[in-house]
Amino acid sequence: MAPPLLTLSEIALTFGSTPLIENASLMVYPRERLCLVGRNGSGKSTLMKIAAGLVEHDSGERFVKPGTSWRYLPQEPDLSAFATSRDYIADGLVGADDGGRIPYLLDALGLTGDEDPKVMSGGEMRRAALARTLAPDPDILMLDEPTNHLDLPAIEWLEEELARSQSAIILISHDRRFLESLSRRTVWMDRGETRDLDKGFAHFEDWRDDFLEQEELERHKMERKVHREQHWVVHGVSGRRKRNVRRLKELGTLRETIKNQRKVKGNAQITVTEANNSSKQIVRMRDVSHRFGERPIVTDLSLRINRGERLGLVGPNGAGKTTLLKIIMGDLVPDEGQVELGLNLESLVIDQKRESLDPEWTLKDALTDGGNDTVIVGGNSVHVMRYMKDFLFLPEQARTPLHALSGGERGRLQLARGLRLPSNFLVLDEPTNDLDLETLDLLQEMVANYNGTVIIVSHDRDFLDRTVTRTLAYEGPGEWQIYPGGYSDMMAQRGVGVQARKSKTESKKSGASQTAAPKKSSSKLSYKHKFRLEQLPKEMETLSAQIETLETKMADPNFYTKDPDGFTKASTALQKAQSDLEAAEEEWLELEMLREEAEG
């Protein structure tokens, strides 16, 4: 095996009097696919910054193989020193980096390069930071929450881009589907230490649960031993003095060991205050259309939402999801058509922007609305410290100003504030942003147990699959289509995920591929099309080999008898591979025609 590119050994770091990292080790090999997971506040981002050389550790060793290049993607990029997004991206190039990938990355990420950082949105800054990180094609990519602020087309593009990358990757993300797709090894940050699993994230949660169960069993054995020794001290028959002194010392050591063990932090207690039942029909829309100027937001949409439904709303940024949501909620009258709302609706909207949070408020003020020491939850008074504990806040954080909270803490606070109020119609707009995986599990459970109606706007594919019963998906300008099931069910029916919005001048793309070339376009190939033209022959070769393998396997007359489930899976995989190959061949032909037209 090739030597590691990066080694961290027994890293320790303390902030103030609190040890954040006590014994962390990490080895990154060429083309590694490693994900770094753990609770919010466990030190994942700090360890990655140490790996990137941005934070100095107190003790331990950091070694980078000479000649190794790396790039780090921060959670909150700073573009303030640059005139344009292109200047910021190009500034990340060093030495032999030629910047040849910059036009392709700008095109793929929906940027022009001329954006002014002073007026760029959070999503645009995130895309520029991704382009800056990916442009040099370094030996190691260190990516801290790369999918934050990205829409579904951008997330799926990034997933494919990283899968093709030759770089080693260290990845921090709360997007389960993203982690499962890319990771091959998992490092768990747990109570100041790292624990290594030589498998991808898909295997992590079962492994973690087994580890914690075994740890709790060992702790229980130690506590029982302490109890037996204490009983001997009080009731035992006196023996030789030296033996007694030795056993007392061992008892003291055992007590100290148990005392110093860092227990796993508890889970948030996410509950929702429910109002009385609404009418059976929540919303009925008939032939609804709405435009902004010449741009259609929704065209001739008819939709009925009944009590108890969980509806997912998906589409690229700029598709009009927020406007459509306002129409559904009755906050905006459409240009055409009718919207009827049910009776006894008590709506609660928890949005991604968190505009209601004044950064100068303290945590206590935000939960009590500037009142005394109690929070009104469903008409009942609950002490603010108890309510804070339910959402994993420490008592000493009560006077912490909101601007000092992390993204995950602000997300939990927004949930805590919203869920105080009674509701029977809950709208969650990007609820998964910055939440750790354990809190996401509890939010999912809360949605499942909620007796009212839920609409979820999200770019988190796994969360949608786990929560919604129907999906309203963007199909094109003004066009929306309802699909039964979650995001994966929608993909199975459409044959493709959510696609990026098309520009006015861009021709309609092939329904089988997000990056297919327009049949008629300008005489010049875009960088994205050139890149696809280079990649497609490799993809077709891989798919052809996959089809050949599956056909050989299924040709065995005993295959179905021996393994009917395996036969079904192989048949499904074969159909998908054949469909993917057909789509790839069509895309390649279109691009070749476009290339010939351009060269002619």
Length of the chain as a residue count: 600
- Position 256 scores a pLDDT of 63
- Confirm if 354 and 410 have CB atoms less than 8 A apart: yes
In the structure, what pLDDT confidence band is assigned to residue 503 with cuts at 50, 70 and 90? very low
What does pLDDT average to over the chain?
A: 83
Q: Would you say residue 310 has pLDDT above 80? A: yes
Look up residue 162 and give its two tokens: 């990283």
327 vs 579, residue with greater confidence: 327
Task: Provide the percentage of residues in the chain whose pLDDT is more than 70.
Answer: 84
Residue 113 backbone zone (phi > 0: left; psi -120 to 50: alpha; other: beta): left
For residue 506, the tally of other CB atoms under 10 A from its CB is 13
Note whether 188 and 545 are within 8 A (CB). no
Q: Which fold has domain 281-494?
A: Rossmann fold (3.40.50)
Query: Does residue 57 register a pLDDT over 60?
Result: yes
Cα distance between residue 308 and residue 463, in whole Å: 18
Q: What is the pLDDT of residue 55?
A: 94
For residues 158 and 108, what is the distance between their CA atoms, to the nearest angstrom?
9
CATH topology of domain 6-205: Rossmann fold (3.40.50)
**Global pTM value:** 0.72
> Do residues 146 and 130 touch, judged by C-beta distance below 8 A?
yes
pLDDT at 163: 94
What's the farthest any 2 CA atoms get from each other in the chain?
103
Closest CA to 308 of 192, 454, 201, 204: 454
Residue 71 φ then ψ, to 5°: -135, 145
Mean pLDDT of 311-326: 90
Between 474 and 593, name the one with better pLDDT.
474
Which element (helix H / strand E) includes 124?
A: helix 122-134
Q: What gap in Å lies between CA 529 and CA 337, rounded to an integer?
A: 40
516's CB contacts (< 8 A; 6+ apart) are 509, 510, 583, 586, 587, 590, 591
Kind plus residue range of the DSSP H or E element containing 15: strand 6-15
Mean pLDDT, rounded, for 110-124: 89
More confident residue, 558 or 150: 150
Say which residue the tokens 């007590």 belong to: 255
Burial class (CB within 10 angstroms; exposed 0-12, middle 13-18, buried 19+) of 399: exposed
430 pLDDT higher than 60: yes
| CATH topology for the 527-599 domain | Helix Hairpins (1.10.287)
* Helix, strand, or coil (residue 495): coil
Q: In this structure, are residues 501 and 516 in contact, taking their beta carbons and an 8 Å threshold?
A: no
Do the Cβ atoms of 479 and 288 come closer than 8 Å? no
Closest CA to 146 of 77, 199, 86, 204: 77
| Cα distance between residue 395 and residue 388, in whole Å | 7
DSSP assignment string, 196-223 = EESS-GGGHHHHHHHHHHHHHHHHHHHH
* C-alpha closest to that of 201 among 189, 191, 215, 187: 187
Look at residue 445 in the predicted model and tell me its pLDDT: 84
The whole-number average pLDDT for the span 590-600 is 68
Q: What DSSP state is assigned to residue 24?
A: E
Average pLDDT of the residues in 403-409? 77
Q: How far apart are CA 116 and CA 589, in angstroms?
A: 38
With beta carbons less than 8 A apart as the criterion, state whether 200 and 186 touch: yes
Q: What is the pLDDT of residue 349?
A: 87
